[in-house]
């Protein structure tokens, strides 16, 4: 699950075992996606998990935690510390939804402060570990293509929450491209490989995030790391990331967003200035070293093991 996130998580100097199943069903497809996995990431077949020794069990989605673990883990493994990474805000009621991961001796990790604020985490200890991003070498902003780019998978199917209507409305006022799974159904350019997205996006004048309600997307952070200025809706965590007129522009009024897009299209130097400010901000807030340190501390806490010094 969440292959790009898992790749960044694997920068933590521990061994990670990814469970696979025959036929590669969702959540058990193994190490695909063309990501440059390191030697600390391994595949383990479903029917061999119960024979292995682990220090903790990490979940990234609901069904494996609620159902699969009872068939997958041995009785001894069921007693291991559990860590659940919650990637999204509540999809039901935005403030009154109780999280299903209820483990007094586990750890619920939220990827944004906004998500932690919205979920009712109950009795479970929680921690916020914001994203950490590591771009492929040599990726840098060019911005020579006078268009905006959005990166959303299955935008047509996911509809209003992911901003399909917002994208269509702004595309009528400014030149916008769309990449991601099934983007062709909305006149987009199709799917780009995981390792190629940052370089592809770096050619565009600005990055557009049309999403009303979701977590802070890794593609937004990756764009900022590459020096691409961001335009988007001032909702969820993005409102704390973008400083209007400094490193991008966010608003809840589409006409204001359209004006910002036109300004960036007309002024490449302004776009470069905003993008550079965004890059410096992203390096500080979403740097991989901070991310690794946060995860080392969290895993040391949940496993009751001392944290090695100087790991990052």
Decide: helix, strand or coil at residue 191. Answer: coil
> What pLDDT, on a 0 to 100 scale, did the predictor assign at position 191?
94
Question: pLDDT of the chain along its 312 residues, tens only?
Answer: 788 999 999 999 999 999 999 988 888 988 976 899 999 999 999 999 999 999 999 999 999 999 999 999 999 999 999 999 999 999 999 999 999 999 999 999 999 999 999 999 999 999 999 999 999 999 999 999 999 999 999 999 999 999 999 999 999 999 999 999 999 999 999 999 988 999 999 999 999 999 999 999 999 999 999 999 999 999 999 999 999 999 999 999 999 999 999 999 999 999 999 999 999 999 999 999 999 999 999 999 999 876 655 544
Q: Residue 26: how many CA atoms within 13 Å on its side-chain side?
A: 6
* CATH homologous superfamily, domain 145-285: Glycogen Phosphorylase B; (3.40.50.2000)
Residue 172 CB-density burial (10 A; 0-12 exposed, 13-18 middle, 19+ buried): exposed
Give yes or no for a contact between 141 and 202, defined as CB atoms under 8 angstroms apart.
yes
> What pLDDT, on a 0 to 100 scale, did the predictor assign at position 306?
66
Q: How far apart are CA 107 and CA 188, in angstroms?
A: 39
> What pLDDT, on a 0 to 100 scale, did the predictor assign at position 308?
59
Tokens encoding 134? 């590591």
Q: How far apart are CA 202 and CA 212, in angstroms?
A: 24
Q: Please write the tens of the pLDDT for every residue from 236-282.
A: 999 999 999 999 999 999 999 999 999 999 999 999 999 999 999 99
> What pLDDT, on a 0 to 100 scale, did the predictor assign at position 309?
55
Q: CA 13: distance to chain centroid? A: 20
Give residue limits of the domains in the chain.
Answer: 3-132+288-303, 145-285
Q: Please write the tens of the pLDDT for every residue from 122-158.
A: 999 999 999 999 999 999 999 999 999 999 999 999 9
> What pLDDT, on a 0 to 100 scale, did the predictor assign at position 312?
42
């Amino acid at each position: 699950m969440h292959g790009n996130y898992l790749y960044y998580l694997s920068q933590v100097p521990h061994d990670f075992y990814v469970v696979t199943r025959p036929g590669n069903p969702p959540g058990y497809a193994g190490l695909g996606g063309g990501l440059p996995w390191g030697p600390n990431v391994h595949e383990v077949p479903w029917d061999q998990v119960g024979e292995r020794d682990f220090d903790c069990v990490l979940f990234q989605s609901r069904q494996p935690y609620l159902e699969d673990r009872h068939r997958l883990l041995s009785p001894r493994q069921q007693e291991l510390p559990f860590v659940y990474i919650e990637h999204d805000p509540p999809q039901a009621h935005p403030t009154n939804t109780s999280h299903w991961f209820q483990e007094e001796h586990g750890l619920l990790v939220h990827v944004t402060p906004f998500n932690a604020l919205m979920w009712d985490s109950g009795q479970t200890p929680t921690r916020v570990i914001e994203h950490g991003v590591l771009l492929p070498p040599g990726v840098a902003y060019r911005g020579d293509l006078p268009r905006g780019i959005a990166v959303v998978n299955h935008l047509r199917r996911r509809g209003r929450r992911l901003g399909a209507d917002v994208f269509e409305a702004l595309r009528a006022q400014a030149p916008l491209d769309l990449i991601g799974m099934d983007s062709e159904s909305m006149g987009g350019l199709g799917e780009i490989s995981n390792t190629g997205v940052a370089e592809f996006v770096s050619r565009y004048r600005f990055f557009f995030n049309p999403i009303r309600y979701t977590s802070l997307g890794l593609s937004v952070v990756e764009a900022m790391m590459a020096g691409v200025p961001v335009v988007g809706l001032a909702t969820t965590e993005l409102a704390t990331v973008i400083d209007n007129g400094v490193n991008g522009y966010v608003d809840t009024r589409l006409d204001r967003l359209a004006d910002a897009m036109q300004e960036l299209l007309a002024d490449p130097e302004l776009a470069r200035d905003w993008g550079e400010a965004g890059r410096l901000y992203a390096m500080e807030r979403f740097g991989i070293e901070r991310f690794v340190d946060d995860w080392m501390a969290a895993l040391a806490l949940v496993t009751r093991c001392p944290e090695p010094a100087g790991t990052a």
